Structure 1
Amino acid sequence: MTEQTRWTHRPPGSNWGDFGPDDQCGRLNLITPEKVRQGVAEVHEGLAFCLSLPLDLPGGNVLNPRRHPPVLRPTVRNGKPNLNYRLIGDNPLHNDVVSDDLAVLHLQYSTQWDSFAHVGQMFDADGDGVPEPRYYNGYRAGYDILGPLLAEDAGVPAAGGMRSTSRAQALGIEHMAERCVQGRAVMIDLHAHCGDAREAVGYDRLMRVIDADRVTVEPGDMVCLHTGFAQALIGMGGQPDAERLERTGAVLDGRDERLLQWITDSGLSVLIADNYAVEAHPAAARDVCCATLPLHEHCLFKLGIHLGELWHLTPLAQWLRAHGRHRFLLTAPPLRLPGAVGSPATPVATV
Structure 2
Amino acid sequence: MSPGPTHFREEFWRNPPPLPRGVKLVQQEAVVVPRVGPRGASLYDLAEVQLPESRVPVLLGYRAPLFPADVLSQREKLSTLREQLQRRDADPRSLPAFRHPMLVTDSASASVIDLCEREEVGLIDMRGTFFLRTGSTFIRVQGHRPLERTPREPLFHGKGCRLVRVLLQSPNQRWTIRALSEQTQTSYSYAHGVTTRLLKEGFVEGGRSAGFRLRDPVSLLRSWLMSDKPTAITREGFNAPSTTPELLKKAHALLTSQGIRSTFTLASALRSDERAVSGVPHGIYLSGSLEPAVSAFGLRRMTPHNFFVLRSEPAAETDAGGIYHAQRLLPHGPAVALPQLAVDFHQSGGRGTEQAEELVRRFARTLPLSDELHDGRRAIRRDPR
TM-score of the superposition, structure 1-length normalised? 0.24
Higher-RCO chain (CA-CA 8 Å, sequence separation at least 6)? 1
TM-score of the superposition, structure 2-length normalised? 0.23
Choose between structure 1 and 2: higher helix proportion. Answer: 2
